[in-house]
Structure 1
Amino acid sequence: MKKNTLLLLLLLLGVAAVHGQQEPQYTQYMYNTVSVNPGYAGTRGVTSLFGLYRSQWVGLDGAPKTAQFSVHSPVSYRGHGLGLSIINDRIGPAQDTYVSASFSYLLQLSPRTKLNLGLMAGGSFLEVDYDKLNVEHPGDPELSGRLSKFSPNIGAGAYLHADNWYVGLSVPALLETHFYDDIQQSVAREKMHFYLIGGYVFDLNPNLKFKPAGMVKAVSGAPLAVDVTANFLFHENFTLGAAYHWDAAVSALAGFQITEGLQVGYAYDWDTTRLGNYNSGTYEIFLRFEFISSAGKRLRTPRFF
């Protein structure tokens, strides 16, 4: 009962203070770029499948849980790409499933520098099961039954990259959506989120690479969300790193290249806020599989990309 009350208070405070940061957050954002920037589609040079599961604030009833699957691939010899992303985000009695398709167009700016311009289109399926709520007055018609709503959206992004660095700017959802329009006292709005990402790969020696990376997320009415990450890649197989989510959490990351085409990664977050006193942290795991030809076709960009 205390956990339910605490979570309800936290959610109410979060709505008042954050106002609009509805999109899921990831610790291993550098591996699932296509979900926030359509310009990334096809840039790895091979067909890439990615799956991720995130459980946030373990131990709190109704805490967020996110599952994501994406696939993207080059579709022409010129380097244009196509992608598909499915994200399911659950919190308490609500779940939001977003499906989007991406297309990127490649511009060769120089022998080493490329710019991919991307568009994405899709929609969000919101479902709320009011019967999961512990309401004070059972039978309240406004807090019973189920609510379902579909909201279409479009997005755009630019992804500038070379062999050892990248910078991206994107807006995954350009249209502002409104939920619960029939109940004015509880209107919820999703606003545009702007993502700025970047990273650089340093070859420290033949068996060790270092990649600092960062992501800044901005939305009207909320403070900037800033993530910085440092990863080391050993012998092209083992990744170890740390991350910091500004004023929110610190993280440890690890990954392993099981085969040339199969990679697994894990991350664990420790909350640096008072919320950390009431949960056992956040964990995240992902799998990425890529179709490498038997002839030994290599990825066109480093694995960190």
Structure 2
Amino acid sequence: MKGLKNYILLILAFGLSKSHAQQTLQLSQYIFNGLAVNPAYAGYKEDWTLNLSSRLQWAGVDGAPKTSSLSIDGVTNSDNKTIGLGLLVNNDRLGPENNSSIYGNYSFRIRLNNDDSQRLCFGVAIGAIVFNIDGSLFNTGNVTDPSISSGVQNKLAPDFRVGIYYYSPVFYLGLSGLNMVPDAYPDPVSIFIKQVRTYYLTTGFIVPISDAVNWKPAFLIKEDFKGPTNVSAATYFLFGNLIWVGASYTTGVQLWKKASLQSDLNRTDGITGVVAVNITPQCRFGYSYDVGTSKLAGYQSASHEISFTYGFGRAKGRILSPRYF
């Protein structure tokens, strides 16, 4: 049982460090890839845009979480820009567990003003998650341990996401729900952690400081109504439309009493520094560095994340305002 206990402890530590118990993907640089948390974001930049993200949690720790995400989205009609489509592919590794997911995203984008600088978007995503656990990677110390299979265990589960997203040239607000398909036949002895419905509230705005500097505060609230509420506050500065420099603070808080949540849990916090460079108007590269500030920080290493964004040419017609979000 030693290997199984170590695996469970690693999962618990990962969950506490991110202040959530479910395994929905959350990247430090989510502001550059809104499709990862909200299907209604599909088509926001209008041009077909590719986003790649890779995150190494707790560098140097054996079996530490590794997360990768690829998305591409854009509008289908460059004249009315009403329909946005997107594809999102994720992979999450945690010790012997390897989970992969794929989603097709659809967004219906309602024009709100004559100059088309504001839209209200409604989105859905349909996909599937493949869960894998490789029992051979457990170091059990007992080859006859009956609780762990030496082979690979698999589970395929459908998934559904919904979202709403409003944006203007200087403000955005999004609300989304992930893991909306419940497990109809849960296995009480399954080694796989049950996915739970998770909701995201995201918002941010742009404040011009000068002709060459823009300030962008951003906020994310993540809630599953079981674990602590995950709150992230970020601040970014854009210099000359070329360089992004920012930081964020993430913590878990108990906004109200939850029956399944211990009242004496230690708060877990994290600080992230981010630098991103607009190499060209269509191409951006970003790097972030995370450190924990809670008691768990003494048992983990720093985390690293890189992101890459590329826009495939300008859609027909003018985009009247820069796409800061």
Same fold (TM over 0.5): yes
Q: Which runs of 5+ in 2 are unaligned?
A: 252-267
CA distance in 2, matches of 1:223, 1:171: 17
Specify whether residues 163 and 84 from structure 1 end up closer, same or farther in structure 2 by C-alpha distance, changes over 3 A only. same
Specify whether residues 108 and 54 from structure 1 end up closer, same or farther in structure 2 by C-alpha distance, changes over 3 A only. same
Q: Residue in 1 aligned with 2:258? A: none
Deviates more, 1:167-176 or 1:11-20: 11-20
Q: Residue in 1 aligned with 2:262? A: none
Q: Give the 3-state SS of the residue equivalent to 2:209 in structure 1.
A: strand
**Alpha-carbon shift at residue 180 of structure 1 (Å):** 7.4
CA distance in 1, matches of 2:12, 2:208: 46
| 1:83 corresponds to which of 86, 100, 117 | 86
CA distance in 2, matches of 1:180, 1:15: 21
Q: Give the 3-state SS of the residue equivalent to 1:184 in structure 2.
A: coil
Q: Give the 3-state SS of the residue equivalent to 1:99 in structure 2.
A: strand
Specify whether residues 301 and 266 from structure 1 end up closer, same or farther in structure 2 by C-alpha distance, changes over 3 A only. farther
Q: Residue in 2 aligned with 1:200? A: 205
CA distance in 1, matches of 2:190, 2:15: 14
Q: Give the 3-state SS of the residue equivalent to 1:205 in structure 2.
A: coil
Specify whether residues 299 and 287 from structure 1 end up closer, same or farther in structure 2 by C-alpha distance, changes over 3 A only. farther
The sequence identity of aligned pairs, in percent, is: 30
Matches within 5 A, 1:278-293: 278-293=299-314
Matches within 5 A, 1:92-111: 92-111=95-114
**Alpha-carbon shift at residue 107 of structure 1 (Å):** 1.2
Specify whether residues 179 and 277 from structure 1 end up closer, same or farther in structure 2 by C-alpha distance, changes over 3 A only. farther
Q: Give the 3-state SS of the residue equivalent to 1:177 in structure 2.
A: coil
1:166 pairs with 2:169: no
**Alpha-carbon shift at residue 189 of structure 1 (Å):** 1.3
Query: Which amino acid in the other structure matches residue 307 of structure 2?
Result: F
Deviates more, 1:196-205 or 1:6-15: 6-15
Q: Which runs of 5+ in 1 are unaligned?
A: none
**Alpha-carbon shift at residue 149 of structure 1 (Å):** 1.2
CA distance in 2, matches of 1:264, 1:13: 30
Q: Give the 3-state SS of the residue equivalent to 1:288 in structure 2.
A: strand
**Alpha-carbon shift at residue 175 of structure 1 (Å):** 0.9
- How many residues align? The count is 300
Deviations 1:88-124 (A, max 9, x none): 0000000110100100001123344310000100000
Matches within 5 A, 1:141-156: 141-143=146-148, 144-156=150-162
